[in-house]
Amino acid sequence: MTAPRDPFFPADRSIRASEKPIEVHNLGLMDYQEAWDYQADIAAKRARDEVADTILVVEHPAVYTAGKRTQPEDMPTNGLPVIDVDRGGRITWHGEGQLVVYPIIKLAEPVDVVDYVRRLEEAIIHTVRQMGVTTAGRIDGRSGVWVPSTTQASDPAASQRDRKIAALGIRITRGVTMHGLALNCNNVLGYYDHIIACGIDDADITTLALELGQEVTPKDAEQPLLIALDDALSGRMVVADHTFGSAPDPIKLANEKARKARAQSSLSQA
């Protein structure tokens, strides 16, 4: 497995081990655990070359999923079930109105995780810009696709801070990818109020519907995203530098939090 490199480069070759067409399975609305089991079965078969590269398209009933880096303080406060999963990242939410896509792809050698993640992001950026969110891009140090605070959403209910419109979390086993991405289309955002989504508390969450000020369903985004994913994974899309900001330094944030706590303690003792 290669070391991380400069994340922006021409995707002038396929990242896939196979040249056969990618199969798409649309699972409709399916419980997370059932979809995860189905995904794991397809991934095991792909590792044995028993099936082609496959993309699963699904919506889930409301559920929280906790990645391997989830911290106790991230956990929900509303009693909704949490499923511990074997992907990277921290806690997030899935629910109706969110387009969830699980690419099960055997990667070409040498496996390059950064390359794969950047291609997923590029496909999402291409899709949401095509749909009208023209400033969507990356924040250095944070995965996923973001809308900058300098962009005014069409719906006044949208956050005015930097806001995430799509989340990523992956796992690669025996050279085969699992898990994937979740694009917020017209899902409600109230469930995010009960967690620290992806461990980030200085930014917010948004949807295509909020940004565009009109109804946008997962079905509306499905075909554009699938086409973009095929292009990105197969080497027909350039991975460009869409970075508009950087994540705060976690050490500086921790020091500032400690400083404020000491100041508050001094005030209370005065």
CATH number belonging to domain 23-269? 3.30.930.10
Active site annotation includes 185: no
119 belongs to an annotated ligand binding site: no
Domain ranges for the chain: 23-269
Q: What is the pTM of this model?
A: 0.85
DSSP state string for 43-78: HHHHHTTSS--EEEEEE-SSEEEE-TT--GGGS-SS
The stretch 166-181 carries a mean pLDDT of: 96
Check if the beta carbon of residue 18 is closer than 8 Å to that of residue 49.
Answer: no
93 belongs to an annotated ligand binding site: yes
pLDDT in tens, 98-149: 999 999 999 999 999 999 999 999 999 999 999 999 999 999 888 899 999 9
89 belongs to an annotated ligand binding site: yes
Of the listed 198, 205, 221, 239, which one is catalytic? 198
